[in-house]
Every structure is written in C-alpha cells, then in structure tokens.
Structure 1
C-alpha cells in the first residue's frame, strides 16, 4: 500500500510542489495540466490529472483521468492547506 509522503509545513503562495513532468505523463502538456481540488475530487477528463482532497489533505496523481485505476497517493499535506494550480512547478 502506497502511503505517499507527508508535507508538514507547506504554505500556499510561498512554497511550491515540484514534480517531474515526464514521470507523470505530462510531457508537452504542462501548461494544460488538469488540477482539481474538492472534498472528494473526481477526474472529469481522460488526461493525467492531479487531485487534491481538501477534506483529507491527500494529493493524488491519476495517470488516466476518467479511466479505471491509475490513482496514486503522492503526499498528505498536514493542516489541509488550500491548494491551487499555482502551487505546483514542473520540470
């Protein structure tokens, strides 16, 4: 079972979560990365999607969007901060 990492002191607007775009299937689409934040986020498109559960602080990568499976917990953010797409940087 993948429990991901734990981020204890993430501050939105000051800190950034850096992800390797190629490792997450985002090569060539970084500008159009789908990011969804909700209490229980659900992907709405087929491309890879980053999902953040505001209820649990869980940050997930869904490799195939609306397809079956593909959901992986990347990290849990302590304190459940409010995240936006601006809190991510891709390389």
Structure 2
C-alpha cells in the first residue's frame, strides 16, 4: 500500500478507538492530516475547493482544542480527514 492509503487506514482505526488515544495523539493525528491534505491539494491543484478549505479549518480548530473535544467530535474529525484524503488520492491517482 502507499503511504496515503496507510494513513487513511490509520485515521479510520483511530476513529474506532478514540477512547484509547491521548489528547497529544489526537492532536498529532489531526496535524498530520492537515499537512497531508495541504500537500495533496498542491499536487492536484485542488486549492480553492471550499469544502476542503472548510475541513482544514475544522481540523486545525479540533487539533488546537483536542483536550476539550468529545469522543464523537474526534471521531468525526478523523473520518472527515480520511474522506478528504481518499478523495484527493483518487484525483492524484487519475493524473498519473
């Protein structure tokens, strides 16, 4: 598998095991999601899609307040990140 696919799987696993993660681990995964999404957006040229930008803003806010998030909010953030990454991966794979 490629690194992106592995990371998507890691996010889905984390979403299913949120209660086992520390606040630091949650914040770290969200930060990695943001960096990966930004990199993939640059690769694809998909920089101005509002939903992607909105998810990045939500992920940044979630990362900054990881201690205050409920399990459901963390799970939703991980799933949102995985969905965006899956979509961007599809676009990258089509351009190869």
TMscore range, shorter length? under 0.3
Determine which structure has the larger strand proportion and give its number.
1
Which of the two has higher C-alpha Rg? Answer: 2
